[in-house]
Chains A and B, each alone.
Chain A
Amino acid sequence: MPHINFPEGLQGIRAAMAFRPETAKPLNELAEVLLHAPNSLTPGERELIATYVSSQNDCYFCQTVHGAIAAAHLNGDEALVKCVKADFWSAEISGKLKALLVIAGKVQQGGKHVTTADVEAARRVGATDIEIHDTVLVAAAFCMYNRYVGGLDTWQPHDEELYRQRGKKTAKEGYITMSQEYLPRESPN
């Protein structure tokens, strides 16, 4: 049972966001910029980073919903998403994304774990400063989202089809549009 009284029927972060719409707004805007807005890293690559960090943090809701969003961006390739979580070195992803996932894994352990050698390795396979920046921030942000979802003990139903459908929709619409499904409508001023 959740640690506080949430609106009923909302899963995971949606319950927490509906409970506190003031903080939901920047939380959704940050996810939109990092994961959905145009970027030299594809949305699929960025969602794989988010999914990987969420699985390292053992957050069922986040790894499942972002895994579904990643799969939706990657032609429905759920096997690839599973492979990235289990052992990304053996996954069919670019060498650049592998090097960025190393950095994401270090950030998950703690900011100081990221080494100059990790960053240089990513740069050697073509990562730009902004890609390294965004990788660090996606990983850091999911250390927040995961703790938010887990720390309030939100309801996380194990229903793969629910996440699959939501993943398809979020991949298409993005985070701000999707938030209209569960946030109270803003009152006209």
Chain B
Amino acid sequence: MPHIALPEQLPGISSAFAFRPETARPMRELAHILLHEPNSLSPGERELIATYVSSLNDCYFCQTSHGAAAACHLGGIETVKQVHVDFQQAPISEKLKRLLVIVGQVQRGGKSVTSAAVDAAREQGATDVEIHDTVLIAAAFCMYNRYVDGLATWQPRDETIYAQMGAHLAREGYTTPSIRPHRDS
């Protein structure tokens, strides 16, 4: 049960967003810019970064919904699963692998990021904006994940809900709700 009286029948962060629309608005906008707007990193790559850091933070709702969004962008869930198990073996670019190393460091703490990791990403063509956005996506999901779990939000174990949310996120982005309350109307 959630720690506070969140609106019912909304899963994960959707319930917290509905509870506090004032903070939801900039949080949605941040996710939209980082994950959905045009960028030299593809939306699929950025959703993989979000999914990976959410799995390191053990946040079921975020890793499953963003994994579903990544799968929509990438045309299947296989790569998402391989990144989860061992990204070094996944069929993704060497640049993305090196960015994921930085992501893992940010997840442990900002000071964990090494110059060597940044240089290694740069050697594979990562630009300053890409390195910046990678660090900020990883940092932002250290917020979203803690928000979702710190309030003990309802996180149903029903994959069809996440597939539906992922499809909406991949298509529309983050400025509008990805799910409506589950009631017949």
Q: Which residues of A contact B146 (CB under 8 A)?
A: 107, 110-111, 136, 139-140, 143
Main SS class of interface, B = helix
Q: Is B148 an interface residue (CB 8 A)?
A: yes
* CA A47 to CA B157, docked complex, whole Å: 37
Question: In the bound complex, do residue A5 and residue B140 qualify as a contact, i.e. CB atoms below 8 Å apart?
Answer: no
Q: Which residues of B contact A112 (CB under 8 A)?
A: 58, 149
Q: Which residues of B contact A23 (CB under 8 A)?
A: 30, 33-34, 133, 136
Q: Is A185 an interface residue (CB 8 A)?
A: no
* CA A72 to CA B144, docked complex, whole Å: 29
Question: In the bound complex, do residue A4 and residue B128 qualify as a contact, i.e. CB atoms below 8 Å apart?
Answer: yes
CB within 8 A of A130: which of B20, B59, B139? B20
- Which residues 131-187 in A have Cβ within 8 Å of B in the complex? 132-134, 136-137, 139-141, 143-153
* CA A78 to CA B144, docked complex, whole Å: 31
Q: Is A37 an interface residue (CB 8 A)?
A: yes
Q: Is A126 an interface residue (CB 8 A)?
A: no
Question: In the bound complex, do residue A140 and residue B147 qualify as a contact, i.e. CB atoms below 8 Å apart?
Answer: yes
Q: Contact flags (1/0) for B131-158 with A, using CB distance below 8 Å? A: 1110110111011111111111000000
Question: In the bound complex, do residue A26 and residue B29 qualify as a contact, i.e. CB atoms below 8 Å apart?
Answer: yes
* CA A31 to CA B163, docked complex, whole Å: 32
CB within 8 A of A114: which of B3, B106, B140? B3
* CA A133 to CA B21, docked complex, whole Å: 12
Question: In the bound complex, do residue A129 and residue B5 qualify as a contact, i.e. CB atoms below 8 Å apart?
Answer: yes
Q: Is A33 an interface residue (CB 8 A)?
A: yes
Query: Which of B84-92, B110-118, B164-172 is found at the contact surface with chain A?
Result: B110-118
Q: Is B26 an interface residue (CB 8 A)?
A: yes
Question: In the bound complex, do residue B135 and residue A152 qualify as a contact, i.e. CB atoms below 8 Å apart?
Answer: yes
Question: In the bound complex, do residue A152 and residue B150 qualify as a contact, i.e. CB atoms below 8 Å apart?
Answer: no
Q: Contact flags (1/0) for A17-33 with B, using CB distance below 8 Å? A: 00110110111011001
Q: Which residues of A contact B144 (CB under 8 A)?
A: 140
* CA A187 to CA B159, docked complex, whole Å: 45
Question: Provided the pairs A4-B131, A5-B128, A150-B110 are in contact, do residues A111 and B147 lie with their beta carbons within 8 angstroms?
Answer: yes
Question: In the bound complex, do residue A33 and residue B142 qualify as a contact, i.e. CB atoms below 8 Å apart?
Answer: no
Q: Which residues of B contact A152 (CB under 8 A)?
A: 110, 113, 132, 135
Q: Is B105 an interface residue (CB 8 A)?
A: yes
**Chain A residue at minimal CB-CB distance from B139:** A147
Q: Is B27 an interface residue (CB 8 A)?
A: yes
List 15 A-B residue pairs with CB atoms under 8 Å apart, sorted by A's residue number. A3-B135, A5-B128, A20-B132, A27-B26, A27-B30, A33-B22, A37-B22, A57-B109, A103-B150, A114-B149, A114-B152, A133-B19, A136-B150, A144-B140, A144-B142
Going nearest first, the 7 A-B pairs with the smallest beta carbon separation are A150-B110, A111-B149, A144-B143, A147-B139, A140-B146, A26-B26, A29-B26
